[in-house]
């Protein structure tokens, strides 16, 4: 897709600061804040919506409420797909109510998708600045809402897919550094990074801490539909068991 005036204007908004980063790119100070706020013992944020535990459990931190439509499961599928995670080790939880987790992807999706502009269509040199512009606006507005059928088409497409794909690349880089090989020789599958020429492999949990030291890309490679193995399937929804056994906490339960 050709670069449009809208892309250039939005990109320019984000370029005003000394450091321009994309929505999937968190400076180390943001990673540290996220870990202090929302990471449990043995967990580490790798990118903004993705944290990985030493036990290889991947937790997708979601800036929405699941109101019965199954978005926690669906968004986790999108993350697991791009990350190449082992679905049996994927979990989901609600993001803290903090500007650090403001949902810039929500505004990005609403505005750009209406003009048929999607992440893979945005030129690499603009992707980071466009996304950063929406993130900055979202932080100013404390934007973290649920509604308008926005979770999948906005947060998922413009935020979580990109964050997960960036995390996948970071994990591959961390493994390549351990093995002293090129990241291009490494692949990912079911929660592990593989170096097929030598037969070596490492789980995501063993690499998460090293991976977090790399800068996430704001324009990582996104999978084409032909490579999907998790998206499009119908796994058991995360929310149903808790609704059945009575442990789900509803608004009426809060004092």
pLDDT digits (tens, 9 = 90+) for 133-146: 888 888 888 888 99
Stated as kind and residue range, the H or E segment containing 30 is helix 28-38
pLDDT digits (tens, 9 = 90+) for 87-134: 999 999 999 989 999 999 998 998 998 888 888 888 888 888 888 888
> Beta strands of 81-156 (E only): which ranges?
90-94
pLDDT digits (tens, 9 = 90+) for 151-202: 999 999 999 999 999 999 999 999 999 999 999 999 999 999 999 999 999 9
DSSP state of 61: E
DSSP state of 193: E
Distance CA 240, CA 233 (A): 17
Contact 207, 174 (CB under 8 A): yes
Asked if the model's pLDDT at residue 24 lies above 70, the reply is no
Compute the mean pLDDT over every residue in the chain, rounded to the nearest whole number.
86
Domains and CATH numbers, the chain: 22-218 (3.30.365.10)
**Smallest Cα–Cα separation from 158: which of 45, 239, 8, 48?**
48
């Amino acid at each position: 897709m050709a670069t449009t005036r809208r892309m250039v204007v939005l990109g320019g908004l984000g370029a005003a600061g000394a450091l321009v980063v994309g929505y999937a790119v968190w400076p180390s100070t943001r990673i540290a804040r996220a870990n202090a706020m929302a990471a449990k013992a043995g967990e580490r944020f790798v990118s903004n919506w993705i944290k990985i535990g030493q036990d290889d459990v991947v937790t997708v931190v979601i800036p929405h409420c699941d109101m019965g439509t199954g978005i926690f499961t669906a968004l986790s599928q999108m993350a697991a797909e791009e990350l190449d995670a082992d679905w049996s080790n994927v979990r989901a939880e609600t993001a803290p109510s903090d500007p650090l987790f403001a949902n810039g992807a929500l505004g990005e999706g609403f505005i750009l998708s209406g003009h048929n502009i999607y992440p893979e269509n945005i030129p690499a040199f603009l992707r980071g600045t466009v996304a950063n512009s929406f993130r900055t606006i979202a932080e100013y507005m404390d934007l973290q809402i649920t509604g308008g059928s926005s979770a999948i088409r906005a947060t998922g497409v413009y935020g979580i897919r990109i964050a997960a794909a960036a995390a996948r690349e970071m994990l591959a880089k961390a493994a390549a550094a351990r093995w002293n090989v090129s990241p291009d020789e490494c692949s990912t599958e079911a929660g592990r990074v593989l170096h097929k020429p030598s037969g070596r492999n490492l789980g995501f949990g063993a690499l998460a801490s090293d991976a977090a030291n790399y800068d996430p890309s704001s324009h990582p490679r996104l999978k084409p539909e032909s490579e999907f193995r998790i998206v499009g399937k119908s796994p058991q929804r995360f929310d149903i068991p808790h609704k059945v056994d009575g442990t789900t906490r509803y608004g009426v339960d809060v004092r």
